[in-house]
Structure 1
Amino acid sequence: MFQNKTKTVIAALLCFALSDMYATRLTLPGTVISNGQKMIGARFMGYVKHVYVKLGQKVKREQDLYEMESAEFDIRKSQADLMVEQAQTVLDFWRRRIHIINQKRARLKKRSKMQNIMGDLDDLEAQAENAQSMLEAAQVMIKQASIKAKQMASIYNYLKMKAPSDGVIVMKNIKEGDMVMPGMLTVMMVDTNDLAVDLSIPATTLKIVHTGQKVDVIIDALGFRTTGVVDAIIPDANPMTHKIKMRVTFDKKGANIYPGMYAKIIVDTENEIVSTPEDITSPKAEKREPDETLHPLRLD
């Protein structure tokens, strides 16, 4: 019977030791997210001509995603180019006109020494001023036409959408022949190289976590374990939830990790609890002298 009691005491001590050991480590559930989520929307109305990607496909930067029908935009671009040509023609005409007037004026000035032709010279001066005004107006026209042509050229960059960075296609709302409207979400992609763990923590956890703190990141589905860093502690947009968001960044080290996977964050609380000045000066924290008064033992 004495041996049974001894075993019971040893088992209780082991359980107490294990519970004390695990009590110094806090486990928090979270979800893997991507810091590089890209939402690509349509800027102009039109029909989808070609779609070059599919769901789950890995794409590289500047890779073609989809292309829109360009017939209407081709007409607009041709009109803009024609406006530039017309403005350039008008500009050249007035330049030649001013050159001719200047030549006539120079000849009249030479002849003015022999005969009185001041009236003709004044008339040429007026023509020169008028031609100069028309030349300046033509220069403004060609600037406006050039800006319009550049705008149409920039539109062509949005007719064939390209990937802004490396990533994986996680959403595709279009197919060939669909009509898209300005602002419509067409493709969503995420960067799988810039990952983090997003989790919600209660306010009481703020005693033991802080920005820059190192924590353990575990993804059980892959048997993956690494060390991460608390990147940010973010207040929840809805204060009634009494929750605070925390984001932990980590290096996936080439593992096949995707956003949406379940993850666990292990926080070592043994060395993270810091006493506040209020705790140090509180009456409970004051050191008490041992009571040297002898109390009689009660035998009953």
Structure 2
Amino acid sequence: MVFLFLRVTLERIMGPGNHSSVTEFILAGLTEQPQLQLPLFLLFLGIYVVTVVGNLGMITLIGLSSHLHTPMYYFLINLSFIDLCHSTVITPKMLMNFVTEKNIISYPECVTQLYFFLIFAIAECHMLAVMAYDRYVAICNPLLYNITMSYHICFFLTMGVYILGIIGSTVHTGFLLRLLFCKNKVVNHYFCDLFPLLELSCSSIYVNELLVIVLSAFNILTPALAILASYIFIISSILHIRSTEGRTKAFSTCSSHISAVAIFYGSATFMYLQPSSVSSMDQGKVSSVFYTIVVPMLNPLIYIMSYQSFDSLRYIMY
């Protein structure tokens, strides 16, 4: 149902495309070694359980605690929602593939998975940038924080994040639906991602690859540069703290957050900002594990700890 609505909508926008003769794909998965299937299943099942419990716990805790109803935690609750959805789009199907002999996914399911994966992946890139801007205002302009980060501004920033995710995903998926698939059905990945699917197309993928480079540069490099600029100003403000203990605590807090951001952007950049002819899909699968599975698990712990430190740091900066 979701796929039919998606396809009809995209074809109305872009016009009718090619109709692929392929009705299903086979996901290659992370490994073809049978002895590793069960250990990997247990590992990623554990990671997924921690991800769900951590992010749902974060959403519940912030929602029930009135003293946490601030812009910083408002963005954090949205990040937890994005992480939860991001992981849920990928992990359950991957876990199912570990215990089945043939990892088959239908064409509609594959396109639907790609569509929602891209929405939440793009949204997370921009949400991290919004959160970095929020930190910049909180630390560098604390007296104007309540005015600069008012309820309406926070709401519009959040809506902008989701809108950018939907637009980027719709463009990528729409151009993918116009391709003809008639070659090998084996997708060299553990989920339906752009580059592995483009490798199977019989049609020209020049426009698709160009869109991947252009939109990935916008959705990855632009937020990354915004985060970098925010932290340059934050660190500059921290250097003015007279207390050595305060500076040490501040740098420790920044480093934990920057490490999480670097893992996410670094792995995403490795996958999407290289030409497909150069990028190795086997290496790409490994890097994808970080931004699709590992980062959503780590984010609740990293952000709640760093936000508690930043709350105390704001008082030092006043």
Q: Do Structure 1 and Structure 2 share a fold, with TM-score over 0.5?
A: no
TM-score between the two structures when normalised by the length of structure 2: 0.19
User: Which of the pair has more CA radius of gyration?
Assistant: 1
